[in-house]
Chain A
Amino acid sequence: MQLTLRVNGIARKIDEDDDTPLLWVLRDTIEMTGTKYGCGIAQCGACTVHLNGAAVRSCVIPISQVGDREITTIEGLATPEGMAIKAAWDDLSVVQCGYCQSGQIMSATALLSVNAAPNDDDIDGAMSGNICRCGTYGRIRAAVKQAAQSMTAKDV
């Protein structure tokens, strides 16, 4: 089917089967590979992107269901929350192999955009859908909190 997707603010004309998951249109058709394939069944979170700012697993969303919602990928993540998250990630050297981290950053940014001061339970709730086999969870938790604090500091 032919349709138009809005990805990182740019309209993209797509001609793929309507059951094609958004993940593979991003990766293979639009050739934006920051969003990763990890499981294909919404169990690992490596494919997390934003639809209208909310974190979703792009591996199980057929392109026919995206509609006119705004898609944001790691490449286009430029909100204040996203910038704060990325800065905290770098500052705390969160990353190891890095394969899951696009998804982690997208989930963390979505959390911060609806919850300016997440506690441990909030972080568990928002981040437990993102697997990291290198085990960077402790640093992710610390980085989410640091990013939240840096946002609050800017507000003052």
Chain B
Amino acid sequence: MKAIDDIHKTGVTEISRRVFLKKTATIGAGFTLALSLPSPVLAQSAGESFLDRQDDPVSNAFVRIGSDNSVTIIIKHAELGQGTFTGLATIVAEEMDADWSQVVAEAAPANKALYSNNFLGMQLTGGSTAIANSYTQMREAGASARHMLVSAAAKEWQVPASEISVSKGRLSHGSGRSISFGDMAEAAATEDVPQKITLKDPKNFTLIGSELLPRKDLGKTDGSAIFTQDLKLPGMLTALVAHPPRFGATVRTFSDQKAKALKGVVNVLQIPNGIAVIADTFWNAKKGRDALEVDWDLSAAMSDDSDDQMRRYRELAKEPGVSAIVHGDLKVGFKAAVQIIEAEYEYPYLAHATMEPMNCVVQISETGVELWYGCQGHTLDQGGVAAALKIAPDKIKINSLFAGGSFGRRANIHSDYVIEAVLIAQANKSDVPIKLVWTREDDTKSGYFRPMYLHKLKAGIDSNGKIVAWEHRIVGQSVAANSAFAAFIENGVDGTSVEGATLLPYKMPNFAVNLHTVESQVPVLWWRSVGSTHTAHSVETFMDQLAAAAGQDPLAFRFAHLGDDDRYKAVLELVADKSGWGESQSEGRIKGIAVHKSFGTYVAQVVDLSVAESGEYRVEKVVCAVDCGLAINPDVIRSQMEGGIAYGLSPALMSEITIKGGVVIESNFDRYQVVRMKDMPEVEVHIMSSPAPPSGVGEPGTPVIAPAVANAIFSATGKPKISLPIGRKV
């Protein structure tokens, strides 16, 4: 993702087009300071189709002030648990000088014109970009609302606007007059939208950087929050789908006789991806699905093992592949080396395994197609559904609900489960809402895995203990291929396959990264931190192997090779200081370190490992240093580092998807193992104080933990742990 240098600007600024500030003609229908507009869904007046409003840039945007003094901030990014309701609301509320207690966060509907990700050009949550792409936009939205409130008060009180101060949702004048945002909103809505506004000097921030802001994604501790799984609509039915047992299989014939005889089963339908059973409840739909008799055509289905695939990867890695980056001359480098070290690393397929399995509610009626779900890729899904139904994207209304985790899964390049739901509703030829529910087994076995990868590394060290040559070969599927993201592929290299391997913190005179992109029937997708899920591990564990070969401390070896970017050095120094790196270790405890930058954020972690005589080990503690530029919500940053570490620890220790004879072996949490309470280390997070523009935190905590653990194990045993998952013993 490109960094935008002027994103951290302060002072007077031209309002960017991206704020979509236009004065609205009608109070109550406008976006900026409209009154008590309950939600874009409920705001439709009688007889008006929601479809008429979709591309109207004044119908809603980012701020709405209610006469009840609520300040509703429209969040264009999906709340997946990462805290974006809180983060984006903080930025708007800061520039408005709203009181945090009056702030309400609300999910934006699908509307590319209004709610695009400014880095990606479509409405999409991903790449840890939510704060980074919209920091200036949200500031401008808040400052504009504040400006209009101040102008209205100045008029009403007949005083210069410059004499009006704003604090905690109240406008005040030295004369003693004071009024709430809510009471000023109606008058403010008639004010001209400012063409120029003044953004705050960051030193005057009171909400940004505050430790005292409760989250704004509410209802999650009393069962009242509504996820897709929980949505009830009048007449709604539940659909389960019998999916192909192997990737590439199709339905030859099926019998629905037994299923249709069961209580509650309303309809059985063939769709492109299997047989859908529609019933009144989940359980009746499941019993109906269990009673189906399907004869699958396996002639085009995947039939080999993931192990077979890995063997082919190993063969491929014997050849260089396509060049992703090269500088210097490897031949010269290796000639100068006194030691040459080689390693191969294998990474399995991984499922995202969100707690809420994939699901989607669809209603197709005369007024259009309406969906309700934890939507992450609004524009992708609108396009995908439009193509599937052969209608215009703007005829598809998406209502975004809380998602029970995503980790990349819900931003699907092919809108897989969303289109499945839509095709069921279409085939059902009725306007009753259909809730497609995937079971855990459906979710685990249906793919869109983090691709399987093989890495082969070879490096030379000279007589001074410096790396003089570094050759890195990567073999695996491309997540961008055959999708709207094929633009990520340049000169045959999918940037997401090699990110984290091509731009290292370390200076090396002779350096090359090569890629073999392979085809497979296994559907693949980005997975929290994307390329860094594997590149951070191979690079950082290989660094420890080289350090050992050079007889150097891993941290000192890294410092000796660091390039010009001082932010790496700073997080390494901080984590070393806070973890007591280099100090005498307590008995039975071994440390490991790793550093990695992803999505513009620098993270260094030190693991404290204990190893039992049996060889079983436990990650006892993780100290984490993070530099994500300006820290908007320190507690959200900490929670994302904690969660990112937990998420990365699962594939480090235990998670893997294996395929035998074309069948995904793992189907539920009994075999697809993930970190539980007993496995979770204590985590201590330290946030760098930084004036740099804010960058993301959703993903960058994840990739660093696996190499840190592997390096601690290497330090304990002297044997490099080559592949993931490491398993329960060293």
Please give, as numbers and ranges, the residues of chain B lying within 8 Å of A127 by CB-CB distance.
677
| A138 and B682 form a contact (CB under 8 A) | yes
| A95 and B221 form a contact (CB under 8 A) | yes
Please give, as numbers and ranges, the residues of chain B lying within 8 Å of A128 by CB-CB distance.
676-678
| B220 and A98 form a contact (CB under 8 A) | yes
Q: How far is the CA of A135 from the CA of B318 in the complex (A)?
A: 38
Please give, as numbers and ranges, the residues of chain A lying within 8 Å of B683 by CB-CB distance.
138
Asked if A55 lies at the interface with its beta carbon under 8 angstroms from chain B, I say: no
| B644 and A44 form a contact (CB under 8 A) | no
Please give, as numbers and ranges, the residues of chain B lying within 8 Å of A32 by CB-CB distance.
223
Asked if A53 lies at the interface with its beta carbon under 8 angstroms from chain B, I say: no
How does the 8 Å CB contact mask read for B387-404 relative to A, with 1 for contact and 0 for none? 000000000000000111
Asked if B511 lies at the interface with its beta carbon under 8 angstroms from chain A, I say: no
| B675 and A135 form a contact (CB under 8 A) | yes
Q: How far is the CA of A20 from the CA of B591 in the complex (A)?
A: 50
Asked if A27 lies at the interface with its beta carbon under 8 angstroms from chain B, I say: yes
Q: How far is the CA of A140 from the CA of B283 in the complex (A)?
A: 31
Please give, as numbers and ranges, the residues of chain A lying within 8 Å of B354 by CB-CB distance.
97, 99, 133
Assess A131 versus B676: contact at CB under 8 Å? Given A33-B223, A93-B635.
yes
| B355 and A131 form a contact (CB under 8 A) | yes
Please give, as numbers and ranges, the residues of chain A lying within 8 Å of B646 by CB-CB distance.
132, 134-137
Please give, as numbers and ranges, the residues of chain B lying within 8 Å of A135 by CB-CB distance.
642-647, 649, 675, 680
B639 contact from A16, A35, A38, A96, Cβ within 8 A: A96
From 441 to 468 in chain B, residues with beta carbon under 8 angstroms from any chain A beta carbon are 441
Total residues of chain B contacting the partner, CB 8 A: 61
Residue of A with least CB distance to B219: A98
| A96 and B643 form a contact (CB under 8 A) | yes
| B356 and A36 form a contact (CB under 8 A) | yes
Q: How far is the CA of A111 from the CA of B407 in the complex (A)?
A: 30
From 36 to 86 in chain A, residues with beta carbon under 8 angstroms from any chain B beta carbon are 36-41, 43-44, 46, 73-75, 77, 86
Q: How far is the CA of A139 from the CA of B227 in the complex (A)?
A: 22
| A136 and B355 form a contact (CB under 8 A) | no
| A74 and B222 form a contact (CB under 8 A) | yes
| A133 and B223 form a contact (CB under 8 A) | no
A41 contact from B83, B649, B670, Cβ within 8 A: B670
Asked if B82 lies at the interface with its beta carbon under 8 angstroms from chain A, I say: yes
Asked if B153 lies at the interface with its beta carbon under 8 angstroms from chain A, I say: no
A43 contact from B214, B281, B647, B669, Cβ within 8 A: B669
Residue of A with least CB distance to B636: A93
Residue of B with least CB distance to A17: B263
Q: Which of A34, A94, A105, A141 has the most CB atoms of chain B within a 10 A radius of its CB? A: A34
Q: How far is the CA of A128 from the CA of B677 in the complex (A)?
A: 5
Q: Which of B224, B355, B356, B440 has the most CB atoms of chain A within a 10 A radius of its CB? A: B355
Q: Which of B406, B674, B676, B683 has the most CB atoms of chain A within a 10 A radius of its CB? A: B676
| A138 and B680 form a contact (CB under 8 A) | yes
| B407 and A133 form a contact (CB under 8 A) | yes
Please give, as numbers and ranges, the residues of chain B lying within 8 Å of A16 by CB-CB distance.
281, 283
**For this complex, into which size category does the number of interface residues on chain A fall?**
35 or more
Assess A99 versus B670: contact at CB under 8 Å? Given A135-B646, A136-B639, A139-B639.
no
Please give, as numbers and ranges, the residues of chain B lying within 8 Å of A36 by CB-CB distance.
227, 229, 355-356, 404
| B281 and A38 form a contact (CB under 8 A) | no
Residue of A with least CB distance to B646: A135
Q: Which of A27, A43, A44, A133 has the most CB atoms of chain B within a 10 A radius of its CB? A: A133
Asked if B80 lies at the interface with its beta carbon under 8 angstroms from chain A, I say: yes
From 107 to 144 in chain A, residues with beta carbon under 8 angstroms from any chain B beta carbon are 123-124, 127-141
Asked if B602 lies at the interface with its beta carbon under 8 angstroms from chain A, I say: no
Residue of A with least CB distance to B680: A137
Q: How far is the CA of A129 from the CA of B674 in the complex (A)?
A: 11
How does the 8 Å CB contact mask read for B211-238 relative to A, with 1 for contact and 0 for none? 0001101011111111101101000001
B403 contact from A77, A94, A97, A138, Cβ within 8 A: A97
B355 contact from A34, A44, A105, Cβ within 8 A: A44
How does the 8 Å CB contact mask read for B81-118 relative to A, with 1 for contact and 0 for none? 11100000000000000000000000000000000000
| A131 and B405 form a contact (CB under 8 A) | no
Assess A24 versus B355: contact at CB under 8 Å? Given A35-B223, A89-B221.
no
Q: How far is the CA of A28 from the CA of B229 in the complex (A)?
A: 10
A44 contact from B217, B441, B669, Cβ within 8 A: B669
Inter-chain residue pair count (beta carbon < 8 A): 175
| A34 and B215 form a contact (CB under 8 A) | no
Within the complex, the shortest CB–CB distance from B709 to chain A, in Å, comes to 15
| A97 and B405 form a contact (CB under 8 A) | yes
Asked if B439 lies at the interface with its beta carbon under 8 angstroms from chain A, I say: yes
| A96 and B82 form a contact (CB under 8 A) | yes
| A139 and B642 form a contact (CB under 8 A) | yes
Please give, as numbers and ranges, the residues of chain A lying within 8 Å of B406 by CB-CB distance.
97
A28 contact from B282, B353, B407, B635, Cβ within 8 A: B282
Within the complex, the shortest CB–CB distance from B472 to chain A, in Å, comes to 29
| A37 and B229 form a contact (CB under 8 A) | yes
Asked if A31 lies at the interface with its beta carbon under 8 angstroms from chain B, I say: yes
Residue of A with least CB distance to B404: A99
Asked if B668 lies at the interface with its beta carbon under 8 angstroms from chain A, I say: yes
B83 contact from A34, A96, A137, Cβ within 8 A: A96
Within the complex, the shortest CB–CB distance from A31 to chain B, in Å, comes to 6
Q: How far is the CA of A105 from the CA of B643 in the complex (A)?
A: 18
Q: How far is the CA of A100 from the CA of B404 in the complex (A)?
A: 8
Please give, as numbers and ranges, the residues of chain A lying within 8 Å of B439 by CB-CB distance.
40
B229 contact from A31, A33, A131, A141, Cβ within 8 A: A33
Q: How far is the CA of A28 from the CA of B222 in the complex (A)?
A: 18
Q: Which of A37, A93, A98, A136 has the most CB atoms of chain B within a 10 A radius of its CB? A: A98
Q: How far is the CA of A37 from the CA of B359 in the complex (A)?
A: 12
Asked if A155 lies at the interface with its beta carbon under 8 angstroms from chain B, I say: no
Assess A34 versus B224: contact at CB under 8 Å? Given A20-B283, A135-B680.
yes
Within the complex, the shortest CB–CB distance from B501 to chain A, in Å, comes to 25
Please give, as numbers and ranges, the residues of chain B lying within 8 Å of A134 by CB-CB distance.
81, 355, 405, 643, 646-647
Q: Which of A24, A29, A95, A101 has the most CB atoms of chain B within a 10 A radius of its CB? A: A95
Within the complex, the shortest CB–CB distance from A143 to chain B, in Å, comes to 10
| A75 and B223 form a contact (CB under 8 A) | yes
| B355 and A132 form a contact (CB under 8 A) | yes
Residue of A with least CB distance to B217: A98
| A34 and B222 form a contact (CB under 8 A) | yes
Residue of A with least CB distance to B223: A34
Asked if A102 lies at the interface with its beta carbon under 8 angstroms from chain B, I say: yes
Assess A96 versus B221: contact at CB under 8 Å? Given A39-B669, A138-B682.
no
Q: How far is the CA of A20 from the CA of B440 in the complex (A)?
A: 17
Please give, as numbers and ranges, the residues of chain A lying within 8 Å of B82 by CB-CB distance.
96
Residue of B with least CB distance to A90: B221
Within the complex, the shortest CB–CB distance from A133 to chain B, in Å, comes to 5
Q: How far is the CA of A20 from the CA of B263 in the complex (A)?
A: 12
Given contacts A39-B669, A97-B354, A124-B677, 7 further A-B contacts (CB under 8 A): A39-B440, A93-B215, A94-B221, A97-B404, A99-B227, A99-B355, A133-B674
Which residues of A are at the interface with B, using a C-beta cutoff of 8 A? 16-17, 20-21, 24, 27-29, 31-41, 43-44, 46, 73-75, 77, 86, 89-90, 93-102, 105, 123-124, 127-141
A-B contacts, 30 listed (Cβ < 8 Å): A16-B281, A20-B283, A24-B282, A33-B223, A33-B230, A39-B440, A39-B669, A41-B668, A41-B670, A73-B223, A74-B223, A90-B221, A96-B81, A96-B405, A96-B643, A97-B81, A97-B355, A97-B404, A98-B402, A99-B81, A99-B355, A124-B678, A128-B677, A133-B674, A134-B81, A134-B643, A135-B642, A135-B649, A136-B639, A137-B680
